[in-house]
Amino acid sequence: MSTATATRAATGRPAYRVTTARVVRAEWAKFWSLRSSWITLGVALVFILAFGLIRDWRYTVMMNAGHVHDPEVLGANGVGLSLFGLNFGQLAVGVLGVLVTAGEYSTGMIRSTLAAVPRRLPVLWSKALIFGGVAFLLGLTGAVAAFGIGTGILSGSKAALGFGDAGVVRALIMAGAYLALIGVSGAALGAVLRSVAGGIAVLLGTLLLVPGLMELLPTSWQNNVSQYLPSHAGDSMYALHQDLHTLSPTAGLLVLMGWTALALAGAAYRLKRTDA
Amino acid sequence: MIEAQQLTKRYGEKTAVDRLDFTVRPGTVTGFLGPNGAGKSTTMRMIVGLDAPSSGSVTVNGRRYAEHTAPLQEVGALLEAKSIHPGRSAFNHLNSLALTHGIPRRRVEEVIELTGLQSVARKRAGAFSLGMGQRLGIAAALLGDPATVMLDEPVNGLDPEGVLWIRNLLTGLAAEGRTVFVSSHLMSEMALTADHLIVVGRGRLLADTTVKDLIRQSGGDTVKVASADPARLRELLAGPGVEITGRSGSEELEVTGLAARAIGLKAAEYGIALFELSTKGVSLEEAFMELTRDDVEYHGSTTVASAPDDRNTEAAEPVGSAA
């Protein structure tokens, strides 16, 4: 053992080597080796399915009760109803994103992580890649399942849609993309703030409170500004029909990608520049 | 090999590490000694790139730590004991670090065995005792089979068995030709394991020396001898490297440079009666306190009225050092 070490040190050709692919593998192993990952993903999936299906069921109840002119019923469609649970699933996914990065700081794990990968940035990219991918698959699975089951509940109603209807497949894929971007944003916020509580507060504030604050602005401003908020841009990604003053799905995707990129840039800057 | 050049770390007004120059060489255990708050941990964090120096530089085997292609193979570091996620098992923790370097699973099992963690390797690390956590930290440090092993306060909070295990481990690693760099605020611990000492206080280098030299410098190994004929004895003992002091009219002499045994034999040979012969070893602890007296950051004031002892009022022991 000692001679091997000495030889390697002398020749300067170590047998081991840090590569980005290996950092990705390590982060993959780290993610799945924590119980909180499984639990939170499970919770997110349950939220997406349960609240979506409850909303479908409520629609049919209202329909059958004759509330056809209720605004909630009037403009409803199968995608909007079945994907209602995404509003809650996104919170679980965003929180898990924060945990993926800020959790390392609160526990002290970050010291081990950065001692192994002192160049640092590959860790952030790997976490974003892995968690983005996981959140995408979760969102897609949840959306497809919720919509698929919802089709059965809604069948025969005006809102009923099938996988073959225009825009449905796009909306379901966008639902996955939405959760991926929220998850990566959460991870980026966690890395910027290095605090689980702080990261979650900023994330939930951005998703839940800021849209409400928009009401304080003059209406004309609201119409121009609020569609670019992360939450509203995200909503428009998987909406089947666009209202006035909402972005198209593609524009919504680009805007949310922009916000995510901004958060990631902040995270990269903080990770590289400040002491761990 | 660790080389620091004018290494400095400032936090606003406060200078935690102040222009440190030192070299840690392979094949020996180098102790990094200083009172609490002397900048030891900050220095170690800079060595592995967790903190960036404000100025100056520190290299490991000729390069900055982050520039190595396999950092864990260059330096294995135990910084604070809890550099783990408590929800992850010991095995998964080590394996995730191993994966970044392509270190085989076999090596993960090896360090688990080496640190005696087999029975708890699959348990959540958060449930580990302090000693187990320390062993896990050391397992992580050894994972890359590193040329340099750096441990920050490794014996802190360990039971005697654990302390002994660390001591043997350190000397074993040095004997294998590795660079071993260990920090402590306990001189007594360093005296048992370290060959070389780097002493710091308030971020500044106070001494870069060997354990032997430090004792000699602080007037260690003085032999007190009381005899019937001090003047004659003085003549007999005189020689190169031997220093003898005594007051006229007193039968006591203080001799440095000769062992008590040699003095006794000499006196017997010439028939001089001895009344007292004792080695007044300055403990390393005292030498260390002498050295760092002015550089202890947190002075405790002992106000226990019932103990108006000289040593108590001096209070060179930093507050909280027992923790």
Each residue's pLDDT tens digit, A257-273? 999 999 999 999 999 99
B245 — pLDDT class (breaks 50, 70, 90):
confident
Q: pLDDT at position B130, please?
A: 86
Alpha-carbon distance A24 to nearest alpha carbon in chain B (angstroms): 8
Q: Provide the token pair at A262.
A: 């901004």
A4 pLDDT higher than 50: no
User: With contact defined as beta carbons under 8 Å apart, do A230 and A256 qualify?
Assistant: yes
Residues of A in contact with B77 (CB under 8 A): 115
Q: pLDDT at position B297, please?
A: 59
Q: Which of B45, B93, B101 sits opposite A22 (nearest CB)?
A: B101
Span A190-195, average pLDDT = 97
The mean pLDDT of chain B is 86
Span A52-58, average pLDDT = 94
Q: Which of A27, A118, A276 sits opposite B65 (nearest CB)?
A: A118
- The C-alpha torsion from A114 through A118 and A119 to A122, rounded to 10°, is -40
Q: Which of A9, A22, A109 sits opposite B84 (nearest CB)?
A: A109
Where do the domains of chain B lie, and which CATH numbers do they carry? 2-215 (3.40.50.300), 221-280 (3.30.70)
The string of DSSP codes covering B207-243 is EEEEHHHHHHHTT-SEEEEEES-HHHHHHHH--TT-E
B212 — pLDDT class (breaks 50, 70, 90):
confident
* A130-181 confidence digits (pLDDT tens): 999 999 999 999 999 999 999 999 988 888 899 989 899 999 999 999 999 9
* A202-220 confidence digits (pLDDT tens): 999 999 999 888 888 888 8
* A221-262 confidence digits (pLDDT tens): 888 888 999 999 999 999 988 887 889 999 999 999 999 999
User: With contact defined as beta carbons under 8 Å apart, do B15 and B61 qualify?
Assistant: no
A5 pLDDT higher than 60: no
Domain boundaries, chain A: 21-273
Displacement of CA A194 from its chain's centroid (Å): 19
CB burial of B65-102 (b: ≥16 within 10 Å; e: otherwise) equals beebebbbbbbbbbbbbbbbbbbbbbbbbbbbbbbbbb
B319 pLDDT higher than 80: no
ipTM: 0.89
| pTM, 2 dp | 0.84
**Are B66 and A22 a contacting pair at CB < 8 A?**
no
- Chain B window 281-300: which residues touch A at a Cβ cutoff of 8 Å? none
Alpha-carbon distance B44 to nearest alpha carbon in chain A (angstroms): 11
- Chain B window 176-205: which residues touch A at a Cβ cutoff of 8 Å? 176-178
B290 pLDDT higher than 80: no
Burial class (CB in 10 A: 0-12, 13-18, 19+), B292: buried
Residues of B in contact with A33 (CB under 8 A): 88-89, 92, 96
From CA A117, how far away is CA B224, in angstroms rounded? 57
B296 pLDDT higher than 80: no
**Contact status of A21 with chain B (Cβ, < 8 Å):** no
B282 — pLDDT class (breaks 50, 70, 90):
low
B219 — pLDDT class (breaks 50, 70, 90):
low
Q: Which of B80, B88, B102 sits opposite A33 (nearest CB)?
A: B88
Residues of A in contact with B10 (CB under 8 A): none
